[in-house]
Amino acid sequence: MTTVRLLSPFVLTFALFTLFHGTSSVGGGFQGGVVAASVVVMFAFAFGIEDTAAWLRSGGLLGLAVAAPVAFGVVALAGIASGGAFLQFDLLPIPKASVYATEAIELGIGATVAAVVIVLFVSLAERPSEREQP
């Protein structure tokens, strides 16, 4: 438990580093999202899958799961809002707009991938009797 508590901030930092390096080197949203999800998996092994699953049922994972489509939609429509075309970044009033737009999409992809990996892990790890019955 102590090791997980000490390591988790460093693993999350590495996840963000990997996520934001997608535009300039190896990395990106998928890889960063999987590394971020590994922190929750570490917590599940350290503190118990049942407790982790109960903690995750708060509904925050749904918001993370829809982050990529929302981020892409916002970035794609920002060009239209600036008087340009769909996905036209050069009209945005910020420097290096295409880099920041790509980073926003990568952040959304990372959040979605992390949420999906966490949901899959918890769904597979729970005993059948603990799953919610319809």
Q: Using one digit for the tens of pLDDT, what is the confidence trace for 24-49?
A: 777 788 999 999 999 999 999 999 98
Sequence ranges of the domains in the chain = 2-127
Tell whether the model's pLDDT for residue 131 goes beyond 70.
Answer: no
Output the CA angle 15-57-11, nearest 5 degrees.
15
Ramachandran region, residue 96 (left: φ > 0; alpha: ψ -120 to 50; beta: rest): left
State how far the Cα of 10 lies from the Cα of 31, in Å rounded to an integer. 16
Name every residue whose Cβ is closer than 8 Å to that of residue 126 and which is 6 or more positions away in sequence: 49, 50, 53
Q: Which residue has the tokens 């390591």?
A: 7
For 129, counting Cβ atoms within 10 Å of its Cβ (0-12 exposed, 13-18 middle, 19+ buried), the class is exposed
pTM of structure = 0.83
| pLDDT value of residue 132 | 57
Name every residue whose Cβ is closer than 8 Å to that of residue 47 and which is 6 or more positions away in sequence: 1, 4
